[in-house]
Amino acid sequence: MRHVTITDLARRLNLSASTVSRALRDHPDISEQTKERVRAIAAKTNYQPNLIAQSLQTRRSNNIGVIVPEIRNSFFSTVISGIEDLAYESGYTIMVCQSNDTYERESINTRALAANRVAGMLVSVSQETADFTHLQQVITQGVPIVLFDRVVDEIDAPKVVVDDFKGARQAVTHLIETGRRRIAHLTSAGSLYVGRKRREGYEAALRAHGLTVRPEYIIEGGCHEEDGRAGARRLLAMAEPPDGIFAINDPVALGAFLYLQDQRVRIPEQIGLVGFSDNPNAVLVRPALTTIKQPAYEIGKTAASLLLDILEGRALKNGTTITLETRLVIRGST
Amino acid sequence: MRHVTITDLARRLNLSASTVSRALRDHPDISEQTKERVRAIAAKTNYQPNLIAQSLQTRRSNNIGVIVPEIRNSFFSTVISGIEDLAYESGYTIMVCQSNDTYERESINTRALAANRVAGMLVSVSQETADFTHLQQVITQGVPIVLFDRVVDEIDAPKVVVDDFKGARQAVTHLIETGRRRIAHLTSAGSLYVGRKRREGYEAALRAHGLTVRPEYIIEGGCHEEDGRAGARRLLAMAEPPDGIFAINDPVALGAFLYLQDQRVRIPEQIGLVGFSDNPNAVLVRPALTTIKQPAYEIGKTAASLLLDILEGRALKNGTTITLETRLVIRGST
DNA sequence: CTGAAAGCGCTTACAG
DNA sequence: CTGAAAGCGCTTACAG
C-alpha cells in the first residue's frame, strides 16, 4: 500500500541507504554484484524513486510549467502537444495551467508553478495582462521563462513568435490584390502584442497601396468565434460594408464566416475573408478559409527546446527571439 | 537569486523556523503580533513556500496527473480544460501527459507521474493498451485513479463515461429512420472499449430493424481524420456502396465527409453521415454534421470532482461509474 | 506563546 | 567497496 523507499530496500539487503542509492544511480564505486542485488529487489518490490525527495535534495526539478490562455483553443492545444512531445523525450513532465485570459488567474498560476519549483516556465500571456511583475519575480528567483506567441517586450526572456506584422501585411495585401478596397479588421481589445502587430501589418498593407485606414473598419473585440460573429454583424450593419475582412485569428474568422453565411452574404464574391493560424478546421468550411499558416506544433517544440537549452546549461544569446515562418495559404474564401 | 526559505525568514526575525512555519499557516498558538511580523517579511522578501519540501514532509501532493491519448484532439483538450478549471478552484495543479495512443508511452507516463508522487491520476487509455498492470500498480500504491472516456473493465476504479452503446444505437436508428438501409460503420482497430460499445450499438440498431450486419461494411481503422478519408474511400469503391455511415467519432466523420465531398457524393442525398462527440467543428461543414453530443467539458469536471472526493476523504461507492447523457444532434448531413 | 528535535526520502562529501 | 552523517525546506509532537 505504501510506497517502497530506499531505506526499505537497504533493510532487506542489509546494506546502507547510501549504498542502495549509489547502486540505483549506477555509481562506479559500487560492485557489480551489489548493483545486481539492488536492482533485483527494486524490480521485485516495484520500487519507484521519490522524485519529490530527489528534487528537494538536488534542488533540480524535472517539471516544466506551461501557462496558456485556454487549453481548448486548437492553436494552444497544438502548441502544448509540441511542448509535451519534446519534454517527454527529454525526461520532463509538464504542468499545464490556463489563465482563461485573465490577469488574476495568470498571476496565481505563475505563483503556483513557482511554489512547485518547476525547472522553468513556458508562457503565453493573457489578453488582460499589462503588469508583468509576476513573471519578472520568477525570473529573478532564477527560474527561466520562455515566452511564445503572446509575448511581451517588457520581459527580458527568450521568445518564440511568428512574424505577425509580416503575416498580417501579406494577408491584407492578398485581399487588396484580389480587388478588395474596403477592408475591415477584426482584432482583440487591449494591448495584446500579437493584436498590435497584426493591426500594424494591416495598416501598413493598406497604406502601401494608397488606401486609407478607416477607424470604423477596425473592430476591437475578443479572440473567439463569438467575437467574430459580433464583429461581422457590426460590419454588415454599416452604410458601406467592407468587401474584405482580415481577422486576428481563425476562430474569429470562422465566427465571421458563419455569420456571413447565415446572412446569405456570398464569400468570396461579396466579401473576401482571411484568418490567421491555419487551424485544422480552416479547411472544413466551404469555401475553405484563406489564412496565414502558423506552425503551432513547431512553436511548442521550439519554445520547449529553448527552455531545455537553458536548463541544460547551453547558454542562449541575450535577447534570443526565434521567429518562425508564416505562409499565406490561399483557399476559397478570397 | 535564490529562493527565500523559512529559515531565512526566521533568521531575519530572530525566531525559530517552527514559529515562522506556524505563523505562516496561521496556527492559533502564535500571537497575532508575531504573525504580522512574519507576514510582513514574507511579503517583502517575496517568500514562496517550497511545495516540494512541504509535500515530502506531509506526504500529500497538490498535483494531479492526467494521461490522454492526444492533447491536440479537440475532445481531449476540452476534457483537460474542464479538469484544469476544477483543479484550479480546488488548489491543485495538473501534470499532463499524452500517450500518442501507444502502450509504451502510456506506461512510461504512468510511472513518471507515480514517481512525481501525484495525489491521483485521471486517465483515458490508449488504443493499444491491453495490459493494465501499470495502472493496477499505481492503485496498489495507494494512488487513486479515475478513468474517463476510454475506460477499461479490468481496472477497479471510478469511471466517467457516456453511454456509448445507447448513443451509437440512437445514431444508427436515426439513419435507418431517415430511410437508409445500407449503413456502414467506421471504427477503430483493436479492443478499445468505446469502439466495442459503439459497434455493439450500431449492430443492435440494425438488428432491431431487421437489417443484417454486413461485415464488409464495418471498416476498422483509427480514430483520426485520415482514417475517415481512408474508410470512405474503401466504402465508395465497393460494388454496392453504403447509403449511410456512422463514424466512431467526429474527426473520422469529418474525414469521411471531406472525401465524399471531393468525390462529389451528395450529402445527405446519396449518403447520410453521423459522427460522435459534437466537436466544435461539426457545425463548420455544409451540410453541418449530425452527431452524438458528448459533454467533453463536463466529463473533465466530473472526473476531476470524483478524484477530489477520494482525495478529500469523501468515500465513493464501490464501482462508481458516472454516465453522462449523450444527445442526438440532427443537422444537415442526414 | 515559542523553540529544539526528529523526520519526510533522498544524495553526497567524508572516512575508512 | 561501503557506511555514517549531514542536509535539502518544511511540519509537528513534545517541552517549557
For chain B, domains (ranges, CATH) are: 6-49 (no CATH), 62-162+296-325 (3.40.50.2300), 164-294 (3.40.50.2300)
One-letter amino acid for residue B158 of the chain = P
CA of B28 to C1' of C1 (A): 10
B161 contacts B148 by C-beta, under 8 angstroms:
yes
Q: Do B71 and A55 lie within an 8 Å CB cutoff?
A: no
B29 contacts B22 by C-beta, under 8 angstroms:
yes
Q: Is A7 helix (H, G, I), strand (E, B) or coil?
A: helix
One-letter amino acid for residue B35 of the chain = K
Give the C-alpha separation, B199 to B191, whole Å: 11
Task: Give the B window 271-330 contacts with A, CB below 8 Å.
Answer: 280-281, 283-286, 297
% of chain A with per-residue pLDDT over 70: 100
Residues B285, B264, B293: CA angle, nearest 5 degrees: 30
Nucleotides on chain D that have an atom closer than 7 A to a protein CB are 1-5, 7-13
Radius of gyration of chain A, Cα coordinates, nearest whole angstrom? 25
One-letter amino acid for residue B192 of the chain = L
Q: Hey, which residues does A95 pair with through a beta bridge?
A: A65, B95
Residue A1 has a pLDDT of: 55
Task: State pLDDT tens for residues A26-51.
Answer: 888 888 888 999 999 999 998 999 99
Asked if A136 has any chain B CB less than 8 Å from its own CB, the reply is: no
Q: What's the gap in Å between the CA of B280 and the closest CA on chain A?
A: 9
Q: What's the gap in Å between the CA of B170 and the closest CA on chain A?
A: 25
Question: Kind and range of the H or E element at A184?
Answer: strand A183-188
Buried b (16+ CB within 10 A) or exposed e, A126-155: bbbbeebebbebbbeeebbbbbbbbbbeeb
Residues 6+ apart with CB under 8 A from B104: none
Task: State pLDDT tens for residues A71-112.
Answer: 999 999 999 999 999 999 999 999 999 999 999 999 999 999
Q: Is B329 helix (H, G, I), strand (E, B) or coil?
A: strand
Q: Is A21 helix (H, G, I), strand (E, B) or coil?
A: helix
Contacts of A46 in chain B (CB under 8 A): 137, 141
Task: Give the B window 172-231 contacts with A, CB below 8 Å.
Answer: 225
Cell 515530502 sits on residue: B56
Q: Do A284 and B254 lie within an 8 Å CB cutoff?
A: yes
Residue B189 has a pLDDT of: 85
Q: What's the gap in Å between the CA of B81 and the closest CA on chain A?
A: 6
Segments in chain A forming alpha helices (H): 6-13, 17-24, 32-44, 51-58, 74-89, 103-115, 133-140, 164-177, 193-208, 225-236, 250-262, 296-311
Residue B313 has a pLDDT of: 86
Nearest to B120 by CA among B143, B148, B142: B143
Q: What's the gap in Å between the CA of A207 and the closest CA on chain B?
A: 34
pTM above 0.85? yes
Nucleotides on chain C that have an atom closer than 7 A to a protein CB are 1-5, 7-13
CA of A4 to C1' of D12 (A): 23
Cell 431487421 sits on residue: B210
| CA distance from start to end of chain A | 63
Give the C-alpha separation, B158 to B147, whole Å: 6
Question: Kind and range of the H or E element at A220?
Answer: strand A218-221
Task: Give the helix, strand, coil percentages of chain B, each rounded to 5.
Answer: 45, 15, 40
Q: How many CB pairs under 8 A join A and B?
A: 154
Q: Is A88 helix (H, G, I), strand (E, B) or coil?
A: helix
Sign of CA dihedral A297, A306, B83, A130: negative
Residue B282 has a pLDDT of: 94
Residue A2 has a pLDDT of: 75
Residue B1 has a pLDDT of: 55
B116 vs A318 pLDDT, higher one: B116
CA of B69 to C1' of C7 (A): 40
Residue B255 has a pLDDT of: 95
Cell 457590426 sits on residue: A234
Q: Do A96 and B97 lie within an 8 Å CB cutoff?
A: no
Mutate to test the interface with B, among A63, A136, A281, A331 (most CBs of B within 10 A): A281
Give the C-alpha separation, B67 to B125, whole Å: 8
| B116 sits within 7 Å of strand C by its CB | no
Largest CA distance in chain A: 88
Residues 6+ apart with CB under 8 A from A267: A257, A260, A261, A273, A287, A332, A333
A24 contacts A41 by C-beta, under 8 angstroms:
no
CA of B34 to C1' of D7 (A): 28
Task: State pLDDT tens for residues A109-118.
Answer: 999 999 999 9
Q: Is B118 helix (H, G, I), strand (E, B) or coil?
A: coil
Q: pLDDT of chain B along its 334 residues, tens only?
A: 578 999 999 989 988 889 999 999 988 888 888 899 999 999 999 899 999 999 999 999 999 999 999 999 999 999 999 999 999 999 999 999 999 999 999 999 999 999 999 999 999 999 889 899 999 999 998 999 999 999 999 999 999 999 999 999 999 999 999 999 999 999 998 778 889 999 999 999 999 999 999 999 999 998 999 999 999 999 999 999 999 999 999 999 999 999 999 999 999 999 999 999 999 989 999 999 999 999 999 999 999 999 999 998 887 888 899 999 999 999 999 9
Asked if A234 has any chain B CB less than 8 Å from its own CB, the reply is: no
